[in-house]
Amino acid sequence: MEYMVKTLRELCMNIENIAEPQFDFAYKTFANLIPVECLKKVKKIIVTGCGDSYIAAAEAKAAFDKYLAGTDCKMLALRIVEASRYFELGDNEPDTMVVAVSVSGGPARISEVLMRGRKHGCITVALTNKADSRAAMNADYVYLTNTTPDSPGLCSYYASMLSLFVMAVAIGEAKKGTSGEMDILREKLLEYHKTFFEDFDAIDAVCKKTAGEWADSVGFEVVADGPLLSCGEFIAAKYAEAAGEKCTYIDSENYMHVNGLLCPTNGYGTIAMAVSDEPNMNRIADTINMMVSRQNRSVMLVCDKDPSEVGITQPVVLCKVRVPEKDYRFLFLLYSFIPGALMAGYQAELKNVAYFRRTDPVFIQSPNTTIASSEITII
Amino acid sequence: MNKLNYYNTVTLQAESLFNLVDIQAERCFNADKLNSIMSPDEFAAIENVVLTGCGDSYSAAGAMRSVFVSLSGVSMTHSPDPMEFTRFWTNEDIVKDEGRKSLVVAVSASGGADRIVEILEKGKAAGARTMLISNNPSSKGAKAAELFFHVDTPELCNTPGLRSYFASMVGIAALGAHIGVCKGHISLKDFEDIKNALIIYVKSIKPFFAKIDDMMFNLSTRWKDFSRYDVIGDGSDYFTAQFVEEKLIECAGVHSSHVDSEDWCHINFFLRDPGTVGTIVHAFKAANSFNRLVETANTAASIGRPIVVVTDKPDAGFDERITVCAMPSPPEGYEWLSTMINFTPGSLISGYVAAVAEKKFFAGRYDFRKQEWNFN
């Protein structure tokens, strides 16, 4: 299709080439960005962004938790409206760092949160791909990602997340006065990256086949818990952006209270995401068994083990992925979205629709210009 | 169409709130009752709080989190979802310093869900105090909890749970205010004033209710065939939006999601066939992001989204294609009270959309006309 410059599959495959250069670029850039003395005094790191960029922040929390453990510093991932308009900031918070993630650096809300941070005496950082963007102009520090722009943003999302991981290590080491974690992370990343992409063709084949079987679904849903719930949110965003389809995301407990009532009960293609040794496995297995046996839902399970090994007794499609060792499990989040993103891309192809409704007259006539032009209010 | 033919248990509950508020406020904003749960000194020692629950109760916890912070003065108050809390939080996440300064509050009208028990057991194992806010003193949740706060909601139909959602929010607000009094963060007079403001504000909606109900019914006759809905809200109303989403799913089984005003523009804006996606926006003028909510509503209208805005400022410059559901403003200084009642218009749509489409609630299992469940 002419209007699809690159398919989501191609964008996913691009990720194979960027892990190492992106990591090295982030490492080099951040090492020279903020003085260690400044990092040492940081006690609160607020990371935020719009849409995908917020999700990258939410997914980076696990890395910050790991590397800031034992320090006096905490990371908070906040939705942009929460960060810019609601989250309480004191008059002068020099120990707080506000990190606004935006590949383009253009949204009004990104500049707004940086301006708000500056007003409240915080250290402000724009994590962006554009050195001359509005966000960059409004930040104390500009942490560049150096990625080729893609749309829908997959490499840029990956780059934002990976840059935040590097940031987490650097701040953790600065605060603890230690070193060596960065090299270990690099090694673990490249090791897992290779492993994941060894399986890519098999993952893609399962996704393509399942997407075809789900072509006429009423809608889509992702069921996941903890850090993977944010991954579900990202996949839902890709369904909207790529295919214009509604995809909801929900945790395995609230599914049982609410979303299991969606009608027709068998009408929703459902991606369930789980890792066998995580503490939610038994609950998500119960939920999957229920959604298949009672609601007759079609489920694709993204998991590191066979369904029978994790307590799933009902028929599901398995999209098997290998996962990193537990200490570096957060690296999985750099890749866990790929099956869902592939599904969203295939759905767009099946529906023959252009990404972001670029050929739809309604959207051509009424583009959403408010992302950039929205009124800035500094609270 | 005659609206009376589509009267349902959402309408019944929504109109009951004007009577319920007196009783619920008295039974929750009750200093003697709260003091019988734990001593004022023990309440005063609380320094961090977790508020969580399942389904509607999780929404109530989320909607009241920032209110709880402002009333109690306990800035370290979090509202993780139930799986996040039970399976991914560590003991260190739950207990800061001494365990007795940490309070884990599970919210559940029935008190019967396994996860509620697990929330309480997890809090206890971490060394925190644990409390159940519930309407069921004999539930297994009540037995698992160290402390029990009985909201004591009068009997009436509660399917789907509007009255319990309202009662849970009143209970959380009352608990927050009581902790605030014990800490000296607010005065006993403030505590009483909050109760009175709640009653006065909720009752102030009553004269407008018939008009709101008519408007939501008429809207529902046009929206009855929609299978997709977006519900938008910011701050506390992000959880109002979540609650309305839950009612749309429970009553009509429609594919619904909640989202904030900024992320809607980045993601949900792109849903295909925008003319068939029912869109409900909660935009009260005291919201810090009110101007963004107005922009977002107008953006949604520009692509032909059928849209209703629930607001106390109907003259804020909304696109003329938007249906504006006007509600009174809360009294000055109590702006948060809008969250206690602004879920009703969206909930009414949920009930009417199902009723007009001749659907039973809960995926066909609940007959709202007979108020009967059928699990066959």
Chain-chain contact of A86 with B268 (C-beta, under 8 angstroms): no
Q: Are residues A240 and A94 in the same domain?
A: no
pLDDT score of B181 more than 80: yes
Domains in chain B: boundaries = 3-186, 207-373
CATH no. for B207-373: 3.40.50.10490
pLDDT score of A147 more than 50: yes
Q: Tell me which residue of A51, A240, A249, A238 sits closest to A152, measured CA to CA.
A: A238
Please state the domain count of chain A. 2
Q: Are residues A209 and A329 in the same domain?
A: yes
Contact (CB, 8 A) for B149 and B133: yes
Per mean pLDDT, which range of A74-78, A362-366, B352-356 is the poorest?
A362-366
How many CA atoms lie within 13 Å of B33's alpha carbon, on the beta-carbon side?
Answer: 16
The residues pairing with B16 across neighbouring beta strands, listed in sequence order, are none
Q: Are residues A108 and A218 in the same domain?
A: no
Q: Which A positions 44-103 lie with beta carbon below 8 A of chain B?
A: 50-52, 54, 79-82, 84-86, 88
d(CA B190, CA B252): 41
Cβ-Cβ contacts under 8 Å, B359 against chain A: 263
Convert the pLDDT of each residue in B295-337 to its tens digit: 999 999 999 999 999 999 999 999 999 999 999 999 999 999 9
Amino acid A160 reads: S
The CATH superfamily assigned to B3-186 is: Glucose-6-phosphate isomerase like protein; domain 1 (3.40.50.10490)
Chain-chain contact of B87 with A278 (C-beta, under 8 angstroms): yes
Q: How confident is residue A13, by pLDDT bands cut at 50, 70 and 90?
A: confident
Q: Are residues A113 and A219 in the same domain?
A: no
Mean pLDDT, to the nearest integer, of A344-361?
A: 94
Q: Tell me which residue of A119, A81, A79, A363 sits closest to B292, measured CA to CA.
A: A81
The ipTM assigned to this model is: 0.96
Q: Are residues A180 and A76 in the same domain?
A: yes
Residue B294 parent element (H or E): helix B290-302
Average pLDDT of chain A to the nearest whole number:
95
Contact (CB, 8 A) for B55 and A257: yes
* pLDDT number for residue A9: 87
Q: Which A positions 291-320 lie with beta carbon below 8 A of chain B?
A: none
In a domain, A373, yes or no: no
Convert the pLDDT of each residue in B115-143 to its tens digit: 999 999 999 999 999 999 999 999 999 99
Determine which of B232, B272, B281 to mutate to test the interface with A (most A C-beta atoms within 10 Å). Answer: B272
Last residue of a domain, one of A148, A175, A196: A196
Three-state DSSP class for residue A372: helix
Residue A118 parent element (H or E): helix A108-119
pTM of model > 0.95 = yes
Q: Tell me which residue of A354, A357, A355, A376 sits closest to A368, measured CA to CA.
A: A357
In a domain, A377, yes or no: no
Residue B230 parent element (H or E): strand B228-232
Question: In CATH, what number is assigned to the domain containing residue A349?
Answer: 3.40.50.10490
Q: Which A positions 223-242 lie with beta carbon below 8 A of chain B?
A: 225-227, 229, 236-237, 240-241
* pLDDT number for residue A5: 52
Residue B238 parent element (H or E): helix B237-252
Domain that holds residue A95: 8-196
d(CA B333, CA B327): 17
| Structure token pair of residue B318 | 């909304």
d(CA A53, CA A156): 9
DSSP B256: E
In a domain, A378, yes or no: no
In a domain, A37, yes or no: yes
Q: With both helix axes pointing from N to C terminus, report the angle between A181-198 and A200-213 in degrees, rounded to the nearest 10.
A: 50
State residue A125 phi and psi, 5-degree precision.
-130, 130
* pLDDT number for residue A300: 98
As a residue count, chain B comes to 376
Pairing of strands B323-326, B277-283: unpaired
Mean pLDDT, to the nearest integer, of A293-314?
A: 97
